[in-house]
């Protein structure tokens, strides 16, 4: 199946079900969190932590990055084999520049300010991680952690965090979010063509080690999404690995299907853009102090519309991919 930003062909049937499910889950959670974020009566546990701390909302972006990273190394290797270095670098560079520009200029057009949103972060992280894809998985991972450690050291020494209010660490945090993509790409390479035992070792063992490390590290470096602290990165990367393992066991191994989530995961880019457009409309209709009995049903309708759009696009065979 041809690869690119837009795929107008029917699914080949060779997709990794757990990967679509992970991506779809992230998008569904992202829609729910973002649609309720601006309303004052929504419980704090469903919003991003304002500083130190962790909520379910803080897990969304890393889980989505992990799903992108898992397929990044596999796709990069295929393109290197079929198209050569020049075409591969051009493809991933253009793709990530488009994502970066969509995010950065989207903030300017919609919010009238320079921002560092999710698409901006994904674009910059994609370009950063591309350099590491030329390495074999183990040296890729080790070098990624080296740069990640450098970011953490600079942050501890007082490096300013640009776009703190956006909660994604700004440009400097690219090395921190980049390790999520790099680690996930290594997991994809190590699991390729292997069975359940390898998946359990890579995703289960690796996820457990990362979460345990994050718990210990949080004693001195608290979990903080805005600063993209090392404990936050390790915790969310480990959680993403365990969630993907759960989907791998149930869908890829057990044959259990979650059709709606998978269909949504195959059209993540369209649904991400679409849900922000609906949120703008929702914020015009309902003021920030609106009661929950109005806000929650409105968010549920938004979720249904976006989900229905994803199902329709998948039925037509139109897959717009990040």
DSSP letter string, 54-115: --GGGGHHHHHHHHHHHHHHHHHHHHHHHHHHHHHHHHHHHHHHHHHHHHHHHHHHHHSS--
Query: Going residue by residue through the chain (322 aa), what tens digit of pLDDT does each one get?
Result: 334 443 333 444 467 899 999 999 999 999 999 999 999 999 999 999 998 999 999 999 999 999 999 999 999 999 999 989 999 999 999 999 999 999 998 888 777 788 899 999 999 999 999 999 999 999 999 999 999 999 999 999 999 888 888 889 999 999 999 999 999 999 999 998 888 889 999 999 999 999 999 999 999 999 999 999 999 999 999 999 999 999 999 999 998 989 899 999 999 888 998 998 899 899 899 999 999 999 999 999 999 999 999 999 999 888 876 5
- What pLDDT does residue 14 have? 66
Chain position carrying tokens 């400097």: 172
- What pLDDT does residue 4 have? 46
- What pLDDT does residue 322 have? 57
169: nearest Cα among 207, 239, 118, 216: 118
The domains of the chain are located at 6-320
- What pLDDT does residue 163 have? 87
**Under 8 Å CB-to-CB from 88, ≥6 apart: which residues?**
76, 79, 80
Chain position carrying tokens 């690219």: 174
**Under 8 Å CB-to-CB from 222, ≥6 apart: which residues?**
52, 53, 229, 231
Q: How far apart are CA 37 and CA 208, in angstroms?
A: 30
Q: How far apart are CA 303 and CA 63, in angstroms?
A: 19
- What pLDDT does residue 318 have? 85
DSSP structure class, residue 193: T
Q: How far apart are CA 240 and CA 67, in angstroms?
A: 8
Would you tell me how many other CB atoms lie within 10 Å of the CB of residue 315? 9
Q: How far apart are CA 300 and CA 177, in angstroms?
A: 30
DSSP string, 148-191: HHHHHHHHHTT---TTGGGTS--GGGHHHHHHHHHHHHHHHHHH
User: Distances from the Cα of 221 to the Cαs of 69, 224, 244, 267, 272, in angstroms?
Assistant: 25, 8, 26, 36, 32
DSSP structure class, residue 252: I
Paired tokens of 278:
């609906």
Asked if 63 and 207 count as a contact pair (C-beta separation under 8 A), the reply is no
Paired tokens of 113:
């300010």
- What pLDDT does residue 138 have? 96
* Tally of residues, the chain: 322
């Amino acid at each position: 199946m041809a690869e690119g930003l837009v795929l107008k062909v029917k699914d080949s049937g060779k997709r990794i079900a757990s990967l679509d499910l992970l991506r779809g889950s992230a998008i569904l959670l992202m829609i729910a969190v973002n649609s309720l974020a601006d309303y004052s009566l929504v419980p704090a546990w469903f919003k991003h932590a304002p500083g130190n701390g962790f909520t379910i909302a803080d897990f969304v972006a890393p889980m989505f990055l992990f799903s992108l990273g898992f397929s990044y190394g596999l796709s990069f290797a295929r393109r290197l084999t079929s198209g050569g270095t020049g075409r591969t670098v051009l493809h991933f560079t253009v793709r990530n520049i488009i994502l970066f520009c969509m995010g950065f200029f989207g903030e300017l057009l919609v919010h009238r300010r320079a921002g560092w949103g999710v698409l901006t972060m994904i674009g910059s992280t994609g370009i950063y991680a591309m350099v590491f894809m030329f390495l074999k998985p183990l040296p890729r991972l080790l070098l990624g952690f080296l740069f990640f450690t450098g970011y953490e050291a600079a942050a501890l020494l007082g490096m300013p965090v640009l776009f703190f209010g956006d909660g994604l660490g700004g440009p400097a945090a690219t090395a921190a979010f980049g390790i999520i993509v790099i680690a996930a790409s290594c997991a994809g390479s190590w699991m390729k063509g292997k069975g359940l035992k390898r998946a359990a070792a890579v995703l289960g063992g690796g996820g457990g080690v990362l979460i345990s490390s994050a718990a210990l590290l949080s004693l001195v470096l608290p979990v903080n999404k805005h600063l993209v602290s090392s404990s936050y990165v390790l915790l969310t990367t480990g959680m993403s690995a365990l969630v993907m393992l759960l989907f791998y066991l149930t869908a890829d191994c057990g044959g259990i299907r979650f059709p709606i989530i998978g269909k949504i995961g195959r059209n993540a880019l369209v649904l991400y853009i679409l849900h922000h457009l609906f949120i703008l409309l929702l914020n015009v209709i309902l003021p920030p102090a609106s009661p929950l009995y109005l806000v929650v049903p409105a968010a549920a309708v938004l979720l249904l519309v976006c989900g229905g759009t994803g199902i329709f696009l998948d039925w037509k065979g139109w897959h717009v991919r990040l």
